[in-house]
Every structure is written in C-alpha cells, then in structure tokens.
Structure 1
Amino acid sequence: MKSILAKTALLPEGWASDVTVYLDEGRITDLVTGGLQDADTSVDILLPAPTNLHSHAFQRAMAGLTEQRGADKTDSFWTWRQLMFRFLDKLTPDDVQAITAQVQMEMLEAGFAAMAEFHYLHHRPGGRPYDAPAEMAQRICAAADQTGIGLTLLPVMYMQGGVDGRALAPGQVRFGNDMDGYMQIMGGAEQAVAGLAEDARLGVAPHSLRAVTPDALRHLQQFRGPLHMHLAEQQAEVEEIKAAYGARPVTWALDHLDLGPRWCLIHCTQMTRAETRGLAQSGAVAGLCPLTESSLGDGIFNAVEWADAGGTWGIGSDSNILISLKEELRTLEYSQRLVTQNRAVLATPDHSTGRVLYDMACAGGAQAAGRDAGQIAPGHWADLVALGGDATDFIGRKGDQLLDTWIFAGTDAAVSDVWAAGRHVVKDGAHVARDAITTAYRATLRRLEDVM
C-alpha cells in the first residue's frame, strides 16, 4: 500500500487540509483528513487528474508545419487536412510509437493521467494492411506501456470518402476498412489492451457521419464500451449531411442514434440552440478540444447553453499542436467571454470559473473514457495530479482560487507529480522516462525531416 500526504486536496465534498490518500493496486482505498500522517510522498496541492478524451497522437509531429498560406486567401480545416494526409503518408510504425510516447509523456507532465486515443492510422502507405492488421494499435499500446498513462484505445471505423459513399481519397486509404477488416483490427487491439495494466480500456469510434454509413453506425453502437464520434465540426460538414440526409448532423444523430452516457461526440461546434439542448439532455459527453478548434477555425461550442441544459463535457487535445490542460480550459472559457462579451460566464454561485472548468473536465473525461476516475475518493483509480504550492502565483491563494490562479495566470510548470492508476509517472515536474522518450522522438523528427 502506498500513501500520499497533501497539505491541501480537492475532495468530492470540497477542499480539505492535511489529507492522506492511501492507494493499493492502483485504486484509492482510504482517506484520512485533518491530521499529519506518515506517508510515502508529500505534496502541496493534490487534485484529481482528468482524462484527455480526444487525441490523434501522430499529428503532434506536424506542429508548426501548417501555419503558412498559399495564394488563396482562405485557409481552413479542409486545406489543413490535405497537408495532414501528405504528412502521415511518411509515418512508419516505429515513428508512430515514438510520437505517441512523446505525446503521452507531455500529457502526463501537463496534468492529465489518462487519454482516449482516437486511432485511425491503421494501414501501410497505399492502404495495404500490415501483416498484423492491428500493428499500429499495438504500437500505441506499447507507448502506453512505456509511459504508464491510462489508455482508452478507440480504433476508428472509416469506410468512405464522403456521405455520398464515394471512394476514399489517396490520403485516406491508410484509414479505410470494411466491417470485416475493422473487426480484425478490433481483435488485435483487444489483445494489445489486455496486455496493459488493468485500467486500460477498449472502445469503438465511428469516425463521423461523413465516413461511416448509417447501417455501420447501428452495428457499432451495439458495442458495450465507450463510443466516440466526430460530430458537427465544420459548416461544410453540416451542409453535406443536410443535403444527403435532410437534417443537420446533430439533429440526425438525435433522431437516429441511441445516444446516451456511453457516447462522446467530438467538437459539436456547429449546433443550433435546440440541438445544443437536445444533445446535452441525451447524457452524451461533448468532447471539446478548444486549442485545436481554434487552430482549425472550427467555431465555438455553445458552452453556456450546454451547461444550462445540464450537459456534460470533457477536454481533449485532438491535433496536439500544444498539449496543455490549463490552456485548453482557459481557451474554452475565453471563447465564451468573446461570444457573450461577459466575464466568468461558466462560474456558478457556488464555484468559481476555474473550479467549474476543472470539475467538469474530470467528470466528463472519466465518463467518456469509461474510466473509474475523476475524484479523490475510495474505489476510484488513483488518477492524481499535484501542484507545487511554492510557486509565486499561489501565494495567498486558497480553495477555488488555486484553480483560478493556475488556469488563468499560472504555467504548466506548476505540475509537480502525476499518478496514473497509482503509477507515479511524473516526479518533480518531469516524466520518469523523459530522456529515453525524447531521444526516440528527436530521432523520428530528424528522419521525417529527411523524407518530407
């Protein structure tokens, strides 16, 4: 049994002082508050650590390569996607493993304890399957084994180049599968996940209404684990779905899918007020990725109306252009301030803005990943993040002010320690395998520089 003594900790019932958390086999077994106890580790500020609910790990290596514009004055998600297709065509399984390990390490150092990998890079360049169809899924699991992150693996079903059923474009053929091919990948992914720690999970991910047929969606939602899908990210997508199905994407999903708590719908930046309320009340999680949504010009999620309707949301890093838990949360809140021209729009009478943002990121991420986490409470996985209380930003701050200060005025350097299902993977601000991970990542970037 391990133990952690925190000067201050955020518990389900609120902030508490001098809290000792006991861990066994990756789960929290007991809490003792109000008295100093002997402990294996002592920290200043202890928080539940959220799950990063949406990642395309390989895109991390593209960061900084897509900020130029050609002669056309309009650049969008769709032009960015063409650059992404050309980039991924160079990636080998070794590259993907090295990049994924770097991404997972950066997530852990930013304060995430777990991640849901929306994994769609399945095949060789040209679209031919690897000898082991789940080769790339196995590499993601190998990275998780190295980094210790809690993993929910989401192999993606990608069938067609558009809602009209057209063939996959050359840049998409590494993603594509029919149902038989997809089930082969799922079988291999299941074996790979079974080889990880007990907290690892497997889910399914129909890519989008554009890329998967209604029949396939009905089949995939019979799976019992987490279900993730991109939905209503871009205006062009809305128009394409409306032209083919006679309804906007969110409206069609509400009418034709068995939406509920197992579902995580990613982005949802193109919704009407009625769609916002309906989707929020379905119990599905909205998977928000504010930094990527800003980078790609996706639009702004209706967070205020979503919250008013009782909806649940969580945070992901999607393209991984910048991996920062606090920056994702700050960007979400600031987007709402720009739209409403008000401040602290997600705060409540009982909790500050930072507290509301953080609590929802923990709850929504855990739900979306199918993970018993998100609280410092007995029975939950010990997904924990510690902040160093000696940072000058925290002087004189207490309670919710600690979260407000970190999210809106602090830096990622405040993260001192992270535990993922009890695995102490970040110590003194650095991942325990940082040197080996960064060495492999540097070598991958140098190789890619030579072939790009």
Structure 2
Amino acid sequence: MTRRRLLLEDALLPSGWAQGVVLEIESGWIRAVQPGGSPEGCERVPGIALPGMPNLHSHTFQRAMAGLAEIRGPGEDSFWTWRNVMYGFLGRLTPEDVQAVAAQAMVEMLEGGFTALTEFHYLHHDPAGRPYDNPAEMGARVAAAAGETGIGLTLLPVLYTYGGFGAQPATSGQARFLHGVDGYARLLEASAAAIAPLEDPALGMAPHSLRAVAPEGLRAMLDIRSEGPVHIHVAEQMREVEDCLAWSGQRPVAWLLSHTPVDPRWCLVHATHMDPSEVEGLARTGAVAGLCPITEANLGDGVFEAPAFLAAGGRFGVGSDSNVEIAAPGELRMLEYSQRLARRGRNLLASAPGASTGRSLYESALAGGAQAAGRRIGRIEPGHRADLVVLDRTHPSLALAEGDGWLDTLTFSAGPAAVDTVIVGGRSVVTGGRHHRREEIAGRYRAAMAGLAG
C-alpha cells in the first residue's frame, strides 16, 4: 500500500480556492483533504493545483497522421475527404505501431493537462480485416501504452458493422473495424482482460454511429452489458443529418432520443448539428455532450449550440479526438472562441454575470468528462483518484493572475506551457513540464513513423 502526504500551496477544491491544502493519498485514492492542515511530514508541491482534466474522446492512432491531411485536393475538401486519407493511412499500422503511437499521444495528453483518457477504439483487425488471435490485440496495445505512461484509462471497444444508414455494405477502408454483435461480445470480454492489469480502469461500449450500427444491432449491443459508459458519434456533419433524414425521417439526435434509452451513462460525441428540440431533449436526459473543438475546427464540422445547451442544463466534456493538437486548455479555448466567432460576442460560456469564463469552462468539463469516463475523477475530494495538474506560478503569463484568473490565463494565454507537475493516481508522471519517459517513448514513436514512411 503506497501513501503520500502532499502540501499544496493553492488548490481548486469543490468549495473553491484554498491555500495550504494537505492531501493524504493512499494507493492512488484521496483519503483526506485538509485546507490549512499541518505541513509536518508533507511533500511540498509548489504551484497551483487543479483537478486533472479527463479527455473524454480520442482515437490515439490518429496522432500518427496529424498534419498529413492539410494538402488541398482537386475538389472541395471536407470531413469525408479527410476520412479517405485516414482509411489509407491506417491500412499500414501494426499492433506495435499502435502501441508506440498511443504512448506518444498519451505523453502529450499528460503534458497538456489531461490526466485520464476515454479511448473510442475502433481499429480492431489486421489490414485485410482478419481478427487477431486475441480479439482485443489492438485494445491491449492501447492499455499497454496507458500502463507505461501512467494515464488513467476508460476503454470503449467500438461496434462497427455497416458502411452507411440502412445497413449499407462497408467499404474496404472499413475492413479493420467490423464486427457483428456476437463478435463484439467476444471483443468486450477480451478487452476486459486487456485492461485488468491497470490501476482503476473502466470498460464501456461504443456503437460507432447510427451510420455504422443498425437499430437491431444497437438494441442487441445494449443487452450485452448493463453498466459502464456508452458513447456514440452523432450529428457531426450536415451530410450525416441529411442521410439520417432520408433513411428514417428524423434527425440523428432526435432518432437516438426516441429509439434508445439515453441516460447519464451516455455520451453523444460532437452532436454538432441539432435543432432546438434536440438541444432541449439531449439536455433533459442528463447525458454528456462530448465536444472536441480543435478537431471539429480542423475538419470543418461546424459549431456546437453551446449557449442554448447550457441554458437548458446540459452537461459537456472535452476530448482531443483526432489528436491533431493535444492540449486541455486549448480545447476549452477553442470551444469559447468558436462561440465568439459564430455569435460575435465575448465570454459567452461564463456561467453567470461576473463569473470567470476559464473557471466556468474548466469545472463544467471536469464534471462532464468524469461522468463520461465512468470513473471517480475530476475532483480534489476524498474518494476520488489523486489526479492533479499543478501550474507553475512563475510562468510569465500568470504574473498578474490570482484565483479564477489563473484559469482564465491558463485557458486563454499560457496553455500547456504553464503545466509544471502532473500526478495521476498519486504518482508523479510529469515534472518540470516533461513526462518522465518522454525521450524513450518519443524514440519509439519516431522509429514507428520511419517504418511507416519506408
């Protein structure tokens, strides 16, 4: 049993900012939080301690193609042309490559202020679409990367059966993703074994999208497992909305809400294109909207209806999705900036007049991300994992900041450069802004990229 007793100079607790906080940690869990407690026997942690941010949506393998889809094509580029580039790229990835890429992405997540990852994992088979001997071979590689980097993990094996609405046949580019419901049940069982060696892992399910899973498959999948998170891509693109209307007569979120028992277990990823009734309906379910603002901007998806959703009591978290850029404060900044550009205003997502936009965004994303991960994270509070991000108070951008101003400056100015120390499950994994295994993992990543280029 490992114990640590930390003295935090300043910390963001559920009750607000506190100084001189003694944190007692046992086997990775916070056992006691004592503002103004006795510093005797404590390790001093200088700086500004925040609850670690959960990353609620990622495809780690896509880190390997970041920056490779920015060449203009002969026609109009879109999400759909980007997807074709992605299909071509992933055809070369081996299990060893997937582990090397996932580890690199996770190092960047930890250095960028994320302490937990919910991995939406749909790359299952070999390049010809044949299952590996271990159905969860690729998921086991993601779990191994989490183990070596120290990030907390919720693994979401993905059910992907068809190529489009109405059970259209899958394309050759989707061959590595495909399962029927029986195969998916075996995948879940193998995935549970793959994550078992990790500390405090979680397992959920993910129907890829309404394009990729037919109604009967969705119902059968939900019967397999009655606990844990359920995530789904929905309403990311207008073409998806139009195709869903043609197939069912309903928009994607409306169809999901009227045919599926969406509740707080669920995370609807993107949900970019909703009409007012869908916004209200999703908020009422207590499900989380999984927003990935940097990726959504990169792909030209559109702008989420954040003000209306929050006014209706909606919950959200943020994720790094395609991992074209990995930064927790960057996702929050892009979320607010997208609203400012669309609505030509400022501080649109602050919780109330006089409220800090940075703190409003940060605390909302903590709560939504923790809910979507299905883990007790996102709070410096007894009974939660000891996941902390500690800012360097000597960073120049923080010179005039104090209290909520630290979060405003982190979000809108300093970004990950202000991150000094990261602790996950009570263990320090980043010090001085650098992951402890950064060079080793980056070397393996570079070797994998060289092999892919050869």
Q: TM-score range by the shorter chain?
A: over 0.9
Give the Å deviation of 1:219. Answer: 2.3
Give the Å deviation of 1:351. Answer: 2.7
**2:218 equivalent in structure 1:** 217
**1:417 equivalent in structure 2:** 421
* Residue type of the alignment partner of 2:150: G
Distance 2:218 2:5 in 1: 45
Give the secondary-structure state (helix, strand or coil) at the position aligned to 1:411. helix
What are the Cα deviations for residues 385-426 of structure 1, in whole angstroms up to 9, with x where unaligned? 100101111113111111001110113121111112222111
**Percent identity between the two aligned chains:** 52
Indicate conservation of the 8 Å contact 1:329/1:407, yes or no: yes
Match of 1:141 among 129, 140, 143: 143
The answer to whether 1:389 aligns with 2:390 is no
What are the Cα deviations for residues 270-301 of structure 1, in whole angstroms up to 9, with x where unaligned? 11112111101110000000000000010100
Give the Å deviation of 1:221. Answer: 2.5
Indicate conservation of the 8 Å contact 1:232/1:270, yes or no: yes
**1:103 equivalent in structure 2:** 105
**2:296 equivalent in structure 1:** 293
Match of 2:321 among 318, 322, 338: 318
Indicate conservation of the 8 Å contact 1:54/1:116, yes or no: yes
Give the secondary-structure state (helix, strand or coil) at the position aligned to 2:114. coil
Match of 2:25 among 23, 31, 37: 23
Distance 1:98 1:147 in 2: 11
Distance 1:165 1:366 in 2: 33
The answer to whether 1:334 aligns with 2:346 is no
What are the Cα deviations for residues 128-162 of structure 1, in whole angstroms up to 9, with x where unaligned? 11111111011111111101110000000000011
Structure 2's unaligned 5+ residue stretches are none
Give the secondary-structure state (helix, strand or coil) at the position aligned to 2:430. strand
**2:55 equivalent in structure 1:** 52
Structural RMSD (CA): 1.0
Within a 5 Å distance, the mapping from 1:270-289 to structure 2 comes to: 270-289=273-292
Indicate conservation of the 8 Å contact 2:23/2:33, yes or no: yes
Give the Å deviation of 1:350. Answer: 5.5
Structure-1-length-normalised TM-score: 0.97
**1:32 equivalent in structure 2:** 34
Within a 5 Å distance, the mapping from 1:394-413 to structure 2 comes to: 394-413=398-417
Indicate conservation of the 8 Å contact 2:117/2:154, yes or no: yes
Give the Å deviation of 1:113. Answer: 0.7
Indicate conservation of the 8 Å contact 1:4/1:43, yes or no: no
**1:304 equivalent in structure 2:** 307
Distance 1:376 1:220 in 2: 35
Give the secondary-structure state (helix, strand or coil) at the position aligned to 2:123. coil
Give the Å deviation of 1:35. Answer: 4.9
Distance 1:409 1:56 in 2: 27
* Residue type of the alignment partner of 2:311: D
Match of 1:440 among 422, 438, 444: 444
Indicate conservation of the 8 Å contact 1:385/1:419, yes or no: yes
Distance 1:79 1:143 in 2: 30
Structure-2-length-normalised TM-score: 0.97
Aligned length: 448
Match of 2:374 among 361, 370, 377: 370
Give the Å deviation of 1:322. Answer: 0.3
Structure 1's unaligned 5+ residue stretches are none
Distance 1:349 1:377 in 2: 28
